[in-house]
Amino acid sequence: MAAKKKTWRITVAMQCKECGVTGYHTNINKATTGKLELQKYCKKDKKRTVHVSKKKLK
Protein backbone atom coordinates (compact mmCIF):
# COMPACT_ATOMS: atom_id res chain seq x y z
CA MET A 1 0.00 0.00 0.00
CA ALA A 2 1.41 3.34 -1.03
CA ALA A 3 1.91 5.95 1.59
CA LYS A 4 -0.38 8.90 1.34
CA LYS A 5 1.42 11.84 -0.19
CA LYS A 6 1.38 15.20 1.44
CA THR A 7 -0.53 17.73 -0.58
CA TRP A 8 1.39 20.91 -1.15
CA ARG A 9 -0.87 22.35 -3.76
CA ILE A 10 -2.75 25.35 -2.52
CA THR A 11 -5.19 27.70 -4.14
CA VAL A 12 -4.23 31.34 -4.27
CA ALA A 13 -5.98 34.41 -5.57
CA MET A 14 -4.28 36.32 -8.34
CA GLN A 15 -4.55 40.05 -7.83
CA CYS A 16 -4.03 42.69 -10.49
CA LYS A 17 -1.10 44.91 -9.64
CA GLU A 18 -2.62 47.92 -11.33
CA CYS A 19 -6.17 48.06 -10.01
CA GLY A 20 -6.12 45.49 -7.25
CA VAL A 21 -8.97 43.41 -8.58
CA THR A 22 -8.76 39.74 -7.77
CA GLY A 23 -9.98 38.06 -10.89
CA TYR A 24 -8.25 34.71 -10.99
CA HIS A 25 -7.64 31.74 -8.81
CA THR A 26 -4.86 29.32 -9.43
CA ASN A 27 -3.25 26.32 -7.87
CA ILE A 28 0.39 26.51 -6.97
CA ASN A 29 2.80 24.09 -5.49
CA LYS A 30 3.71 25.54 -2.16
CA ALA A 31 6.89 23.52 -1.93
CA THR A 32 8.39 24.83 -5.16
CA THR A 33 6.60 28.07 -5.92
CA GLY A 34 7.30 31.23 -4.03
CA LYS A 35 5.67 34.47 -4.94
CA LEU A 36 4.03 34.10 -8.28
CA GLU A 37 3.68 36.79 -10.91
CA LEU A 38 1.73 36.20 -14.08
CA GLN A 39 0.59 38.21 -17.05
CA LYS A 40 -3.18 37.98 -17.07
CA TYR A 41 -5.95 39.79 -18.80
CA CYS A 42 -7.66 42.20 -16.44
CA LYS A 43 -11.31 42.77 -17.19
CA LYS A 44 -11.31 46.09 -15.41
CA ASP A 45 -8.22 47.49 -17.10
CA LYS A 46 -9.14 45.77 -20.38
CA LYS A 47 -5.54 44.78 -20.95
CA ARG A 48 -2.93 42.33 -19.83
CA THR A 49 -1.37 43.26 -16.54
CA VAL A 50 0.86 41.65 -13.97
CA HIS A 51 -1.07 39.66 -11.41
CA VAL A 52 0.54 38.56 -8.18
CA SER A 53 -0.44 35.68 -5.98
CA LYS A 54 -2.17 37.18 -3.03
CA LYS A 55 -3.64 35.06 -0.32
CA LYS A 56 -4.17 31.45 0.30
CA LEU A 57 -7.68 30.21 -0.19
CA LYS A 58 -9.26 27.11 1.14
CB of 47 to Zn ion, least distance (A): 8
Nearer to Zn ion, 6 or 55 (CB): 55
CB of 18 to Zn ion, least distance (A): 5
Nearer to Zn ion, 33 or 45 (CB): 45
CB of 30 to Zn ion, least distance (A): 25
Sequence-separated (6 or more) residues with CB below 8 Å from residue 42: 16, 18, 19, 21, 23, 48, 49, 51
Q: Taking Cα atoms as reference points, which of 6, 3, 9 lies closest to residue 32?
A: 9
